[in-house]
Amino acid sequence: MIVETIPVGPLQVNACIVGCPATRKALLVDAGSDGAVLLDAIERLGLELELLVATHGHFDHIGGNRQVLDATGVPFAMHEADVPLVGQATTQAALYGLSTDESPLPTRLLAEGDQVRVGELVFDVLHVPGHSPGSICLVGQGHAFVGDVLFAGSIGRTDLPGGSYETLVAGIRSKLLVLPDETVVHSGHGPDTTIGREKQVNPFIGG
């Protein structure tokens, strides 16, 4: 599997390009900003984008959507519970003294138990709320794209509207920590980690 992570925007969101080596089809996870940069990277890798997914609806994870969608016309998928956040993106950004492009609304809604397919790759959709009501993770091929649910040594913020510490920790423990220890975790910000490492060192969910 091809995975290239590109930090974008002022908050350095990890936009993940996920490609199927057999078919050269690609999935883009969290086009937070700099859509043109992401499109150039997809072309450089010799891939054809088939789907854009947002792990959640916070402004820093969807600011590049319009550029990507206008250029490619691919479907845009996310969880229904975070759709209201899409329309609030510019207001959210302004609260932090930042600006962002408005994102189109999703054309596909994802829910727990759904699957995302790109070429020969298949990812299971896990709904893990707590950072936001509609936060999702994509799990497959020994990788987990988790947005702001889980970080190396930490977890997502739960002090934002719709957040819940108890809900987030329960979801991580019941849905992510049951994955094989060697599963590579691609977080929405910061370095990659593994499920096994987080079990050992993460003070929020380990033990």
Q: Average pLDDT of 96-117?
A: 95
Contacts of 148 (CB under 8 A, 6+ apart): 55, 56, 58, 61, 131, 132, 135, 156, 157, 187, 188, 189
Q: Average pLDDT of 80-98?
A: 93
Per-residue pLDDT tens for 45-79? 999 999 999 999 999 999 999 999 999 999 999 99
Query: Does the pLDDT at position 207 exceed 60?
Result: no
Q: Which fold has domain 2-201?
A: Metallo-beta-lactamase; Chain A (3.60.15)
Q: Where are the domains of the chain?
A: 2-201
Per-residue pLDDT tens for 156-176? 999 998 999 999 999 999 999
State whether the Cα torsion 35-87-122-194 is positive or negative: positive
Q: Average pLDDT of 122-137?
A: 98
Per-residue pLDDT tens for 4-40? 999 999 999 999 999 999 999 999 999 999 999 999 9
Tell me the whole-structure pTM to 2 decimals: 0.96
